[in-house]
Amino acid sequence: MLKNIIQFLKKEKQTLSVAESITGGNLSSSFISESGASSFFLGSVVTYSKKSKIEILNISSEDLQNNSLVSEYVSKNMAESCKKLFKSSYSISTTGNAGPKTNDSVSNVGQVFISVASKSGIFTEEFNFKGTRKEIIEQTVENAHKILYKNLIK
């Protein structure tokens, strides 16, 4: 799947940026581990903390207070802000809770939101993964590839 994404982006001369929280750089790493990534991959931000979501992605403190950090709203805003920041054709974001326990009373361990922003809008999917922290992160990266691919071939 990853090779198909890269092939499409290169062929169509499209660009990609990534805003990560739960995946902590793993999603970006999956793209740059492939040869020729500089032709399509513009960059990424790991906005793991609330502070970095505010300061780097310009998501308002009030919006973060009114919505869980693990939410569709935050995921969409991360993707949209990252797309603007890098001026990319596509941007993908990941936010969620990898466990082993939660830091809030709203999200559950394994709850993940993945969003793709493109010129045609923002698409988000929610997941409830099971497994260890590492397994949840790996499942998030794998599903981020699937969601991005789905949005590229529309």
User: E strands, the chain, where?
Assistant: 16-20, 41-46, 90-96, 111-118, 121-128
What is the structure's pLDDT at 153? 79
Q: pTM for this one?
A: 0.95
Can you tell me which residue has the tokens 């919006």? 63
Euclidean distance between CA atoms 71 and 59, whole angstroms: 13
Summarised one tens digit per residue, pLDDT across range 55-71 is: 999 999 998 889 888 99
What is the structure's pLDDT at 6? 94
Phi/psi for 75 (5° steps) reads -60, -45
Neighbours of 82 (CB within 10 A): 28
Q: How confident is the model at residue 137 (pLDDT cuts 50, 70, 90)?
A: very high
Summarised one tens digit per residue, pLDDT across range 6-40 is: 999 999 999 999 999 999 999 999 999 988 999 99
What is the structure's pLDDT at 34? 87
